[in-house]
Amino acid sequence: MAEEAENPNAEVAFTASPTAGLGVRAKGYRLVDLLFILGALGLVWGAWELKAHAGDSATQSAAIVKAVTESNNAIVQALKEQQAVAKESNAQTVRVLERLTRAQAEANCLLDPMMKNRADAREFCKRISGRDDR
């Protein structure tokens, strides 16, 4: 450190491999100046990578949204088909229950003691129960 204070513009040398002779030499620069330059280059590179990552993220997000939307369309279509089948099934059930209710009303009418002596009891009970086919 004492040498640095005496000669701030001394030569800075860094050798990666003494046998291969690979290295870096810089005359007239202090080590701190070189570290600042390398740090600034690192920050620029990091900002560039973040910008590239943001662009990739936006593209991937759009692709994910599109895939989810397409898969949901299939689910919605299946649910619509299921709803149509359930609606038809419910309509059939309602018709069967209405016929059973009318048949039960006719049977109750025929079991009434007043109907035993009536000659047209069957037709009368059909008519009041709503099972008249006319």
- Whether the pLDDT of residue 4 is over 60: the answer is no
What pTM was estimated for this model as a whole?
0.40
What single letter denotes the amino acid at residue 30? R
Q: Over the stretch 18-55, which tens digit does the pLDDT of each residue have?
A: 666 677 666 666 778 878 889 999 999 999 998 888 88
| Structure confidence by residue, pLDDT tens digits, 58-75 | 888 888 999 989 889 989
CA distance 63 to 35: 41
Return the pLDDT at 3.
46
The burial class, CB within 10 Å (0-12 / 13-18 / 19+), for 125 is buried
- Amino acid 45: pLDDT: 94
